[in-house]
Amino acid sequence: MYGKNGKEYKTFGPDDHDALRAISHLLDIHVVTADVRGFSISEQRIVHDMNFPLHLVSAQARPDWIEEHFDSSSTVYMGDGFLDHIVFQRVMYGIAPANALKRTQKFADFVTSRGGGERAVAEASMHIAKKFFGVSI
């Protein structure tokens, strides 16, 4: 949402923080965004409220950035953007929310039944816990 002073609001899904916290002992969670104008909002939510690392990386640079900073052969990545299908091809497992672009969904290993901002991250967290760690949250 934009106001007269620029980007002022972003929507975050209910339960997403609780679900990420529930799996945070199982894997290392990082959040990546390309949203320069909304970065301060995301920083407040992700870094200060949720205590997860947040990285500002353009969509174009993201595939190479992930390979430089993480072991892509053991990386689970969730994304909905127009270039995230490229990331999905370079990581172990890709997850797209239900409202992601169709091309992005096509390359995902799992597509949530919920859209971004509507508990998609919570659903993905439950899926990851069950699929990779055999636990229910």
Identify the pLDDT of residue 93: 98
Based on the number of CB atoms within 10 Å of its own CB, is 120 exposed (0-12), middle (13-18) or buried (19 or more)?
A: buried
- The domains of the chain, with CATH numbers, are 11-131 (3.40.50.1000)
Instruction: Give 9-50 pLDDT, tens digit per residue.
Output: 667 777 999 999 999 999 999 999 999 988 988 899 999 999
Distance separating alpha carbons of residues 63 and 133, to the nearest angstrom: 25
Given a cut of 80, is residue 3 above it in pLDDT? no
- Torsion, Cα 126 131 135 137, to 10 degrees, reads 0
The one-character DSSP state at 72 is G
Q: What percent of the chain has pLDDT over 70?
A: 92
Identify the pLDDT of residue 1: 61
Contact 95, 127 (CB under 8 A): yes
